[in-house]
Amino acid sequence: MQPVTSPIPQLEFEDAALDKHLGLISMDRPKIVFDFGPANRLLGGIYPCQMTAFGASPGAGKTTLMGQLADGVAASGNPVLFITEELPAHKLVCKSLVRLSKGTLTLGDIPENVAADTTSLAAFEAAVGCYRATIAPNISYASVSSVADIGRLVGECIHACGKTPVVFIDYLQLLATKSAAPFADERLAINDCVAQLRAVCNTYGTSLYVASSVSREFYGSKPPSLKMFGGASTVEYSFDNALYLHEDKERCDVFNRKALKLTAIKARYRALDSVPLTFDGAHAVFHEVI
């Protein structure tokens, strides 16, 4: 009888492996940095094979924040795959154009007021030109039927661009519901969806940023915790980072700008932190508080 080959690796003490580990440490840097300081402060930039959840109650601005981050990544010349299960793609493009107008346009101006005002029309055309030149060549919006579709699109992007795309998903619960079998339990569907997303992340070495709703009990002033993600244990254990966008009780809203905080409630490789933000919904933009 032949001896059974053990899959267990050979014992190696750290004095023999140290140089290899030091080399890996020196290369452990983000492949891309956000153009939004608070995201870099909490996450350190964009690292391959990391999954980050963005939790928020309805209306807090998580879709806008994801779009703003995605635009910045695309404008820096890196491919972005934006999976949108809530808004149609043209609504996200509209938000991008408003941001690019630098305060001249609001979401309410497009399309009603643009043609009637020469200043608005000029700002709109300039925004379209900027979007066409910097963001549009590097971003793809898609609605999918399953996580397998996301893996296929990531593979197609790598083949077309020679780069691994950064993936944004808006949002988890809708994707899980679409992917699940009929009448499946929501928690089990979310767990299965997250497990499949982790497989895509690890297979292609991509970075995933996933918006998520939170349990109703966290809509108010209850302190944030990982339990806010609907009780789905896979969210708690499978994501490398979890950020929570919520009201900043220490500041007041000013000039139609909401005072918010972005708080890291899980950061596998960094210290937990919180950063103050303002959210200008009319102009579809978040601002860092200096």
The predicted pLDDT at position 206 comes to: 96
pLDDT tens per residue, range 51-90: 999 998 888 999 999 999 999 999 999 999 999 999 999 9
Strand ordering across the sheet containing 274-280: 139-142, 80-84, 166-170, 207-212, 51-56, 241-247, 258-267, 274-280, 285-288
The predicted pLDDT at position 116 comes to: 79
Whole-prediction pTM: 0.90
pLDDT tens per residue, range 101-142: 999 999 998 887 787 788 899 999 999 999 999 999 999 999
Cα-based angle 162, 92, 227 (whole degrees, multiple of 5): 90
> Which stretches of the chain score pLDDT less than 50?
1, 4
As a whole number of angstroms, the distance between CA 194 and CA 213 comes to: 14
